[in-house]
Structure 1
Amino acid sequence: MSNLRTLVFFATPPHECSYLHDREATTMFVDPRAQVDKRLYSQLTALGFRRSGSHYYRPHCEHCSACVPVRLNVDRFTPDRSQRRVLAKNADLACTLVPAAFTERYYQLYARYIEQRHADGDMYPPSREQFTSFLVEGATDTWFLEITSADKLIGLAVIDGLDDGLSAIYTMFDPSEEDRSLGTFAVLWQIREAQQRGLPYLYLGYWIRDCRKMTYKTRFRPIEALRDGQWQILAPVSGAPEGPPGPDQGAS
């Protein structure tokens, strides 16, 4: 089994940044031949890496440090008024954790979400192969959170279990249910789940100050950011609007 001392890393050539279109990005990947277990994955996550399918990556841009890993200390979190409204609005929903797997039901929800919410992104057009390689392959302790209304699947959140917390990998929802703020609801559910499991952190991927798709993350307080190798409280960001989680893939 691999460990931090034996890992080999590769860097991609510079490519167009998926979030800041006037910049180039470079991504560092763990050697895909490495055997990454839950313990090593947890260590990599604490160092700012993310998982996309079987790949573990983090930003490695020479002239840019805009992508900042963030996590929430769940025991210090108290929902604000807006988040309490989201919880109340969705009190009728049923939430069930199931092992990560491909089903046509999940894929149809994913396809509608990508086509209607992210048609301008790297993941358009959606495909079954893409769904599987992104959300199912490489899973070590990975779960899908089914969010249903009257037995209709309206949301799906992909969650990884870590030694010190949960990692919010991706959230998708039925675009016709936009008024429910299901992205925010899924994060709130994961916060409660981490608390119930006695885990201190919920990892939320990367935050970019100038990327509107990521501003929702700063509404969960106190949010911690990894800077210069140290996790520290991120100062409140003024004017950060609420919004649903978008894909971390491509954030580098």
Structure 2
Amino acid sequence: DVPDTLSHLLAFVLVLLGAHPLGLFFPKYFRLPLITGYLVAGILSGPFLANLLNEDVVGILGSYVNAFALSFISFQAGQEIYLPELRPQIKSIVALLATYYCTAMALGTTVFMLAAGVSFYSGLVHRCQLGIELMFASISVLVSPSTVMGLKVELNSVGPFTHVALGTCMTAEFVVLVSFSVSRVVASIYCAKLAREHRLHHGHRAHEPRARSAARTRDDPHLPAAERPA
């Protein structure tokens, strides 16, 4: 519907215009980055508070806004990565990424294992639960490139620490993709095996009443021989 789409676009533009001065308010009075104000503006205008951007607006424009934002963030991050500057920091990037990945995976898997009793996968076998927990833990390794790039651009930061942070953030994206893919394969193997056994078990249980009914009919002395099952 064209009028509804135009009204949704107008609401989105008005929220964008209002988010900019609100974003400037936080660095001036609270010494917080601009992105904090933008996050607060999004929370206030979202469907759970002011409802300026209701669920229909989020559903219609969300995918397009995410696609454009990811494109600009990826382009800006790729523009900032300069291999001659990163080469002296490769050892630091690898060490930081390995420490962060192992810590996040260990803590994430432990937390989800402890919470398995109240989760949707509480009734599954342990191997299937482990695959699901590894997927959740892999997602927890993610680092937001938008936050890193926003702070870098706002502060105009340069130097070894900036190169290490940016290199770790961008490399973590690749590591998370590989880790999540492996965890998904593990979960698919054991959970698919469990689902197959579950279907066989229920099929056998559904067949038992029919077999008992046929046996009773066959042994019924009052039933004519022509109507008895073979």
TM-score (norm 2): 0.28
Higher relative contact order (CA 8 A, sep 6+): 1
Higher strand share: 1
TM-score (norm 1): 0.26
